[in-house]
Amino acid sequence: MKEFRVGVLASGRGTDFQSIVDAIEKGDLDATIAVLICNNKDAPVIERAKRHEIPWQHIDHRGKSRREFEEELVGVLKEREVDLVVFAGFMRLVTSHFIEHFRDRIINIHPSLLPSFPGTHAQRDALEWGVRVSGCTVHIVDESADGGPIVFQKAVPVQPEDSPENLADRILREEHKVLPHVIRLFAEGRVKVVGRRVFIDEEGREALRPV
Amino acid sequence: MKEFRVGVLASGRGTDFQSIVDAIEKGDLDATIAVLICNNKDAPVIERAKRHEIPWQHIDHRGKSRREFEEELVGVLKEREVDLVVFAGFMRLVTSHFIEHFRDRIINIHPSLLPSFPGTHAQRDALEWGVRVSGCTVHIVDESADGGPIVFQKAVPVQPEDSPENLADRILREEHKVLPHVIRLFAEGRVKVVGRRVFIDEEGREALRPV
């Protein structure tokens, strides 16, 4: 069977990236990280790639047009022949120019139960609203920021005394289970996007249960 | 100990109302339903009140101003000396005139994880969005429709093949556990509203766990 090649885009610490690496190394995920692309040369995620001997590339977004930046991303991802693009804490929005190259094959993980609390302060916003349940969402990346079809969600309880940091940590622990799980669903060819709904094929009924 | 008196407002079938009645009759909830107020004289919820010999009153909202309607509601609730007002499928919005009489002592149960999917078609909206997790929310009623401080939430899984009806049923089963539970927290004096956050006192830590 042809290997399933994942391109990961990240900007920061890279704990979501690490969860993919770990799942592959443990044999829980039959996939290859074809490349890590990072837009921030000082991001710790690059050290993680080096440590695990995963090809990585720094592509700076600064000093170029959005179009040029996206062209560079697309170039590397195509050259590495990726089947799935994973935004794992990637802090840049992309346009339809990028999206068209990988339509329905780009996923993002977001630390809330979308459509509640989109944007870059999801955990703080959830606490300020006072919800009792938040969570994480893996969705298809389309032209709407944080608004694409949802592949998977996991609920996480919130306590009124939570700080944004400890809520973020609790959600992150779930992200690290959810993200490899969803990549596995793609690798097994079980994900089908129909309009706003995402179907996981028959065998995948199991796949929507809590991980 | 003084009895804890609940006034329930409902407009329809009354299955949430029934869940309160059942919890009281089973001895799971130490409270009295002081009155059921229904704005629709043909609603099945009235039959339920009769069957359980619970005082009930039909107050029509039609043919009068919102202010007059609310005055009538307040009159009955005050006369019955209610400690807590419960909107259990009550299909009317209330204004600050009503709210001021029972500030932080009015709760509503809503079939989604607010702030996602406010309004009267929560289950259909959740399905159309394609979420994997929905649920129910009990919140304090304030001047914002469906936007008051959240007391309790329970997550409910969604399947892409769900119809609005079977998602509604699955959520309703949780509502019937959640609503008596939350009323119990109020009856035990354990609920404290601070701005947008709702705290349940020390012993109540347990109370935020899944019911």
**pLDDT higher than threshold 50 for residue A131:** yes
Write out residues in chain B with pLDDT < 70, as ranges.
Answer: 1, 202-211
Q: A151 pLDDT band (50/70/90 cuts)?
A: very high
pTM of the full predicted structure?
0.90
pLDDT at residue A43, as a whole number: 96
Q: What is the pLDDT of residues A187-199, one digit of tens each?
A: 999 999 998 889 9
Nearest chain A Cα distance for residue B73, angstroms: 29
Q: What 8-state DSSP symbol labels residue A2?
A: P
Q: Which residues of A134-161 are buried (b: 16+ CB within 10 A; e: fewer)?
A: bbbbbbbbbeeebbbbbbbbbbbbbebe
pLDDT at residue B204, as a whole number: 47
Q: What is the DSSP string of A3-66?
A: PPEEEEEE-S--HHHHHHHHHHHTTSS--EEEEEEES-TT-HHHHHHHHTT--EEE---TTS-H
Q: A204 pLDDT band (50/70/90 cuts)?
A: very low
pLDDT at residue B172, as a whole number: 97
Could you tell me the domains of chain A? Answer: 1-102 (3.40.50.170), 108-138+147-211 (3.40.50.170)
CA-to-CA dists, residue B141 to B22, B94, B133, angstroms? 24, 9, 24
CA angle A179/A186/A53 to nearest 5° reads 60
CA angle A20/A25/A29 to nearest 5° reads 55
Cβ <8 Å between B113 and A114: no
Please state the three-class secondary structure of chain B as a single string. CCCCEEEEEECCCCHHHHHHHHHHHCCCCCCEEEEEEECCCCCHHHHHHHHCCCCEEECCCCCCCHHHHHHHHHHHHHHCCCCEEEECCCCCCCCHHHHHHCCCCEEEEECCCCCCCCCCCHHHHHHHHCCCEEEEEEEECCCCCCCCCEEEEEEEECCCCCCHHHHHHHHHHHHHHHHHHHHHHHHCCCEEEECCEEEECHHHHHHHCCC
pLDDT at residue B42, as a whole number: 95
Q: What is the pLDDT of residues A89-123, one digit of tens each?
A: 998 889 999 999 999 999 999 999 999 999 999 99
**pLDDT higher than threshold 70 for residue A211:** no
Nearest chain B Cα distance for residue A177, angstroms: 16
pLDDT at residue B205, as a whole number: 55
Q: What is the pLDDT of residues A53-68, one digit of tens each?
A: 999 999 999 999 999 9
> What residues of chain B lie within 8 A of the CB of A197, using their CB?
130, 160
Q: A160 pLDDT band (50/70/90 cuts)?
A: confident
Cβ <8 Å between A113 and B115: no
> What residues of chain B lie within 8 A of the CB of A157, using their CB?
208
pLDDT at residue B201, as a whole number: 83
pLDDT at residue A2, as a whole number: 85
